[in-house]
Amino acid sequence: MGDMREIRNIVILTGAGISAESGIDTFRSEGGLWEQHRVEDVATPEAFARDPDLVLRFYDMRREAIQTKQPNKAHDALARLDSAWQGGLLIVTQNVDDLHERAGAKRLLHMHGEHLNAWCTACDIRVPWIASLIERPPCPVCGMQALRPDVVWFGEMPYGMDEIHAAVRNCDLFVSIGTSGAVYPAAGLVRIARDLGAQTLELNLEPSKGSPRFHEARHGPATVIVPAWVEEVLSGGG
């Protein structure tokens, strides 16, 4: 990486790989989440309309599972960076788990929604939700049995895109951690940053689809390479 003195504003994009060592399945690996389910069958509005029980059970199982998992050293390192970094910083996560929050991250945006929220399709309210949805519980606000996972499915607009684009256009360093670079618009953010002169760095277990889009790539488990990178940034090195 270039001279850290030039870095003021950082954007960090995280994906399922940052939670892998916490025991949360990624999507596109052996035995991953999409291995057991075709994405079209569980993560689209059409799938929900066609077979709501299948989709609700898929998300009930994952919502319950994440509540038994803990943040790992990579989440902890990003939370440390968030509290210590004096310049601009935004963690944009594609993950719907709450491990970044539980590690203490504050400047955080869930662009694909959150497992621990439910969204009422009748009154449009979003409410914290840790229980299951398969029994069609009534919305705590309007009473209708119209709650769905507050998760962005394929074909739906990700959350916070204006804020994300503003941060990406303004950043000096764009770092991607634990994502395969397969899903848009998340996978296209590095190109926007790079075209505007930001330095770009990929931290991932192995080269990803998106690797060629980055100036630099470092490979290894997130719990090893993310804390090392954060120490480098905070010591002004690299």
Catalytic residues: 112
Pick the closer one to ligand BV8 by CB: 3 or 40.
Answer: 40
Q: Are 127 and 111 in contact (CB under 8 A)?
A: no
How many residues belong to the site for ligand BV8 (CB under 6 A)?
36
For the CB of residue 185, give the shortest distance to ligand BV8 in the complex, in Å: 6
Looking at this protein, which amino acid is placed at residue 133?
L
| Residue closest to ligand BV8 (Cβ) | 17
**Residue 137 in tokens:** 């519980």
CA distance 139 to 136: 9
Residue labelled with tokens 């991932």: 204
> Which one among 52, 104, 160, 221 touches ligand BV8, defined by CB under 6 A?
221
Cis amide bond preceding 149, omega within 30 = no
Q: Are 190 and 24 in contact (CB under 8 A)?
A: no
In sequence order, the 6+-apart residues with CB closer than 8 A to the CB of 234 are 80, 81, 84, 85
Pick the closer one to ligand BV8 by CB: 105 or 172.
Answer: 105
Residue 228 contacts ligand BV8 per CB under 6 A: no
Over the window 121 to 160, marking each residue x when it contacts ligand BV8 by CB under 6 A and - when it does not, the resulting string is: ------------------------------xxxxxxxx--
Residues of the shown chain interacting with ligand BV8 in the complex, contacts defined by CB under 6 A: 15-17, 20-21, 26-29, 32, 43, 94-96, 112, 151-158, 178-180, 182-185, 204-206, 208, 221-222
